[in-house]
């Protein structure tokens, strides 16, 4: 299944997914802010620190999955954390962080991930996984009020591990020419590409959005299908032209033979008249 044909099937299936035009959202940054607001509204002061909670989004954001948890910055650095596909190792730093941090994990689904083609230059590459997001916001005592600002997650000692195994469509691509690359989508619109550390596993050194991509296959020429009636008419015209040409050839041969016979007859008569005169 590591053939270009399999990749073409993936691309066709992605093209058939609904577009992301809900409420006119075409900016990846705007989508992050909306998810942040719904995450903050979902928080309950009784939520246990370090426990993952699912954020329920409205119907116009269907296809997106969001989970969140609140951590103490010091505990996160000492023990690390597992947030679905993201594994934050020991030594991870949140900057700036006074006490607590909200960590948000996003799975944008294939339909919303298509937004990244418009926001980033992915020329020559095709996404074969949904875009995953890992973001952090400040979490004070009044987390459910106001708009928290974004923080940075830095992995200086051990990189952040991202496991795409359960969400990618490219798990059967084993050929080196078809092996996915890790794509990191940076805030300035740049895309960084790196090799996987193991099948469907990538490393990152900070928060952000990530996905798996492969090189797009060359476009195959489209063969035009000729209808049966056109084929029948063409065959009939060809046969008629062939018959006409054959008839003209036979007539020309007949005229040539007849002309030759007439010349021979005239020569014979001239010879006989000359013989009688002698």
223 within a domain of the structure (yes/no): no
SS (H, E, C) 11-31: HHHHHCCCCCCHHHCCCHHHH
Specify whether 125 is located in the same domain as 190: yes
Specify whether 238 is located in the same domain as 184: no
Q: Strand order of the sheet with strand 201-204?
A: 81-83, 86-88, 160-163, 201-204
Residue 23: C-alpha distances to residues 26, 40, 109, 217 (Å): 9, 20, 17, 33
What would the two tokens of residue 224 be? 């035009």
Specify whether 107 is located in the same domain as 233: no
35 within a domain of the structure (yes/no): yes
**Of residues 19 and 53, more confidently modeled:** 53
Specify whether 206 is located in the same domain as 264: no
pLDDT of residue 171: 58
Specify whether 207 is located in the same domain as 238: no
269 CB contacts (<8 Å, ≥6 apart)? none
What is the mean predicted confidence (pLDDT) over 215-221?
Answer: 71
Specify whether 56 is located in the same domain as 98: yes
220 within a domain of the structure (yes/no): no
Does the structure show a pLDDT above 50 at 5?
no
Tens of pLDDT, residue by residue over 129-154, are 999 999 999 876 555 556 688 999 99
258 within a domain of the structure (yes/no): yes
Q: Write down which residue in 181, 215, 249 finishes a domain.
A: 215
Residues in the chain: 278
**Residue 207 and residue 134 in contact, taking contact as beta carbons nearer than 8 Å:** yes
In angstroms and rounded to an integer, the radius of gyration of the C-alpha atoms of the chain is 37
Does the structure show a pLDDT above 80 at 192?
yes
221 within a domain of the structure (yes/no): no
Structural domains of the chain, count: 2
What is the mean predicted confidence (pLDDT) over 187-199?
Answer: 91
Mean pLDDT (the chain) is 81
222 within a domain of the structure (yes/no): no
Does the structure show a pLDDT above 90 at 93?
yes
Q: Residue 79 class from Cβ within 10 Å (0-12 exposed, 13-18 middle, 19+ buried)?
A: middle
pTM, two decimals, is 0.69
86 within a domain of the structure (yes/no): yes
Tens of pLDDT, residue by residue over 150-180, are 999 999 889 999 999 988 776 555 455 578 9
pLDDT of residue 272: 58
The Cα–Cα gap between 151 and 74 comes to 15
Specify whether 57 is located in the same domain as 152: yes
The CATH number linked to 83 is 2.60.220
Specify whether 202 is located in the same domain as 252: no
Its domain, for residue 241, covers 228-278
Q: Residue 73 class from Cβ within 10 Å (0-12 exposed, 13-18 middle, 19+ buried)?
A: buried
134 within a domain of the structure (yes/no): yes
Specify whether 241 is located in the same domain as 204: no
Specify whether 107 is located in the same domain as 177: yes
Does the structure show a pLDDT above 80 at 46?
no
The Cα–Cα gap between 141 and 194 comes to 39
**Residue 50 and residue 81 in contact, taking contact as beta carbons nearer than 8 Å:** yes
Specify whether 100 is located in the same domain as 191: yes
Specify whether 276 is located in the same domain as 188: no
């Amino acid at each position: 299944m590591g053939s270009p044909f399999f990749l073409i099937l993936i691309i066709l299936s992605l093209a058939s997914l609904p577009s992301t035009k809900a409420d006119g959202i075409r900016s990846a940054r705007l989508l992050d802010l909306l998810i942040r607001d719904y995450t903050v509204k979902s928080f309950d002061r009784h939520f246990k620190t370090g426990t993952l909670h699912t954020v329920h989004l409205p119907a116009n954001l269907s296809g997106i999955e969001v989970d969140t948890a609140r951590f103490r910055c010091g505990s996160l650095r000492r023990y690390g954390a597992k947030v679905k596909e993201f594994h934050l190792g020991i030594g991870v730093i949140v900057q700036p962080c006074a006490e607590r941090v909200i960590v948000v994990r996003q799975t944008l689904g294939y339909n919303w991930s298509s937004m990244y083609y418009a926001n980033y230059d992915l020329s020559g590459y095709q996404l074969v996984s949904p875009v995953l997001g890992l973001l952090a916001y400040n979490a004070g005592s009044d987390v459910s009020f106001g708009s928290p600002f974004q923080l940075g997650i830095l992995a200086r000692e051990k990189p952040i591990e991202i496991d795409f195994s359960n969400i990618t469509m490219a798990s059967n691509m084993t050929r080196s020419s078809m092996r996915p690359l890790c794509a990191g989508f940076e805030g300035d619109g740049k895309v960084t590409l790196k090799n996987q550390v193991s099948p469907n596993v990538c490393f990152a050194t900070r928060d952000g959005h990530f996905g798996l991509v492969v090189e797009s296959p060359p476009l195959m020429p489209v063969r035009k299908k000729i209808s049966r009636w056109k084929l029948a008419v063409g065959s009939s015209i060809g046969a008629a032209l062939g018959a006409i040409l054959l008839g003209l050839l036979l007539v020309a041969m007949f005229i040539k033979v007849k002309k030759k016979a007439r010349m021979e007859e005239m020569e014979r008569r001239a010879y006989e008249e000359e013989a009688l005169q002698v």
